[in-house]
Structure 1
Amino acid sequence: MPYFALDKKYFSKFAIALGLLAISGIFFLGFWAATGDLAYISKYFYIHLAFLPIHALVLGLILDELIQLREKMERRKRLNMFLGIFYRQMGIDIMLNLLNLVSNRDELEEQMLVDKSWNARRFAKARRDLHGFKLKMEPNPRMLAALMDTLVSREQEIIAMTRNPLMLEFESLHHCLLSLFHLIEEYHFRGPMDKLRPEVLKHLAQDAGKALTNLATLWVAYLEHLKDEHPVLFGFQVGLHNSIQPMELDANGDSPEDD
């Protein structure tokens, strides 16, 4: 059945091609019957035939670029939709737990605290800075235990997202989810935090730092999307997490501290 469908598909295209050639031939024959100038028709035909590869090259490149641009925009919209769901459901909670392990948190917040005045260049700089930022992770057993409790409580959701075929399309988010899943696997393998050796705790803290870098970079990219597409939501998010801590907003979207 699939083989027949494939043959039918190509047969339809072949029929369309023949139909278009036949229409072109009819017009040429009509011109020849009306003017009798076969030499002009031959010259016109060969000149256009010679330019056909150039037309194909130019149109092919332009159309290919336009199609790729459109696909990139569609992928970005889908990615940002997934990012919104992810951060609303679990991403913020996980990131807050990860931040508790950062000893140079003030320096990190300077890189990821988004301001309403940021433009595309400032967002791009923040992503670059976050990607190269040297985190100093504190191997605190209590904080690591709180982080792992949060991750384990979301384990099934994280697994479901990693198994979603669409995630393979979004390499950055998929890589971030895998880094979180890696932490969960290590937790199941290592056991309770209070029984782990200091070097093991240090290793877990370093892995947590890698996950935080991924989360923070995606968070800044998501806020850039909100600023461009949903400025009201962007204002709410900046107000909520401008200090990487939840804050209450009034009905107008202003924080109580603004009064």
Structure 2
Amino acid sequence: MNRYLATRTLGFMLLIVSLVLYGIDYLALGGGREIASGFLGNFAFLPLYVLFVTLMIERVLKERERISLRRKLNMVIGVFFSEVGTELLRNLTDFLPAPAELERRLQVRPQWTANDFRELSAFLAAFELQLDSRMGDLAYLRHFLVGKREFMLRLLENPNLLEHDEFTDLLWAVFHLVDELMARTNLAELSQPDLDHLAGDMRRAFGHLLREWVIYMTHLKADYPYLFSLAVRMNPLDPEAHAEVD
């Protein structure tokens, strides 16, 4: 109500100012015909003024909304990596038959630029990820993911995730892996075809996870250097990672 009254008051004051200025123009220079002609000319352009201002304001508001949504999404993704993603990356790395090349390429450094992250994303897009479900601890992986299942379900309830298909795909891939692991009674006595099937599920989740991790690190580097510093020191793909600053 107060805003409505303020708008009406402002409009009334602007109208008074306009009439006063037209009156001064008439008294000082005369020529009512010229004043009327100028008024009609300005009035004719009024729709164009309104259209221009509306489009500009709409563009500014959409950009602000986009930035706000991106920040909210990045906050959700950051919480995911803090609670689940970073540890899951460590766990899944144990199932890599030959981790050396992947670990070498994922050694993110503090001095990295946006171009370095783009090159890493291109490498991951072309990299043929292979996992062996016999190498790691499936029982621990199941225990860890089951303990985080409720947390991930709450993430899916966040409406902002509807705007981020890649991250939603990551969550569904992890959920499917959890369901597959929970469906097996004894993980120590699985057939080779079943182990290969689990390896495929882990590979899908791991691929999504790696790509989202690179995007997340790029965001931290650009917007939160202090968080990026810790994330680099705690790199889950670095066997020698530690929180202490060397």
TM-score bracket, shorter-length normalisation: 0.7 to 0.9
How much has 1:193 moved relative to structure 2? 2.7
8 Å CA contact 1:162, 1:178 repeated in 2: no
How much has 1:137 moved relative to structure 2? 2.1
Cα displacement string for residues 38-94 of structure 1 (whole angstroms, at most 9, x for unaligned residues):
332333233334434443444344333332332232223223322332222222111
- Which of 202, 205, 209 pairs up with 2:199? 205
Deviates more, 1:137-146 or 1:93-102: 137-146
Structure 1 residues 72 and 146: CA distance shift in structure 2, 3 A? same
Report the AA paired with residue 26 of structure 1: L
How much has 1:151 moved relative to structure 2? 0.7
User: What pairs with 1:161-200 in structure 2 (closer than 5 Å)?
Assistant: 161-200=155-194
Match of 1:153 in 2: 147
Match of 1:244 in 2: 238
5+ long unaligned stretches in structure 2 = none
How much has 1:24 moved relative to structure 2? 7.2
Question: Alignment identity in percent?
Answer: 28
Distance 1:82 1:246 in 2: 28
Cα displacement string for residues 98-118 of structure 1 (whole angstroms, at most 9, x for unaligned residues):
122233433323443212221
5+ long unaligned stretches in structure 1 = 1-7, 255-259
How much has 1:135 moved relative to structure 2? 1.0
Greater relative contact order, per chain length (Cα 8 Å cut-off, separation 6+): 2
Distance 2:13 2:193 in 1: 73
Structure 1 residues 144 and 58: CA distance shift in structure 2, 3 A? farther
Match of 2:96 in 1: 102
Distance 2:143 2:179 in 1: 13
Cα displacement string for residues 207-227 of structure 1 (whole angstroms, at most 9, x for unaligned residues):
222221222222222222222
Partner of 2:188, secondary structure, is: helix
TM-score by length of 1: 0.75
Partner of 2:234, secondary structure, is: helix
Cα displacement string for residues 158-194 of structure 1 (whole angstroms, at most 9, x for unaligned residues):
1122223343344433332222112112223344333
8 Å CA contact 2:220, 2:227 repeated in 1: yes
Match of 2:19 in 1: 26
Distance 2:116 2:52 in 1: 36
Distance 1:76 1:130 in 2: 23
Match of 2:217 in 1: 223
Report the AA paired with residue 180 of structure 1: V
How much has 1:121 moved relative to structure 2? 1.9
TM-score by length of 2: 0.79
Structure 1 residues 249 and 195: CA distance shift in structure 2, 3 A? closer
Cα displacement string for residues 232-257 of structure 1 (whole angstroms, at most 9, x for unaligned residues):
3322321222743363344xx22xxx
Report the AA paired with residue 76 of structure 2: F
Report the AA paired with residue 40 of structure 2: Y
Match of 1:257 in 2: none
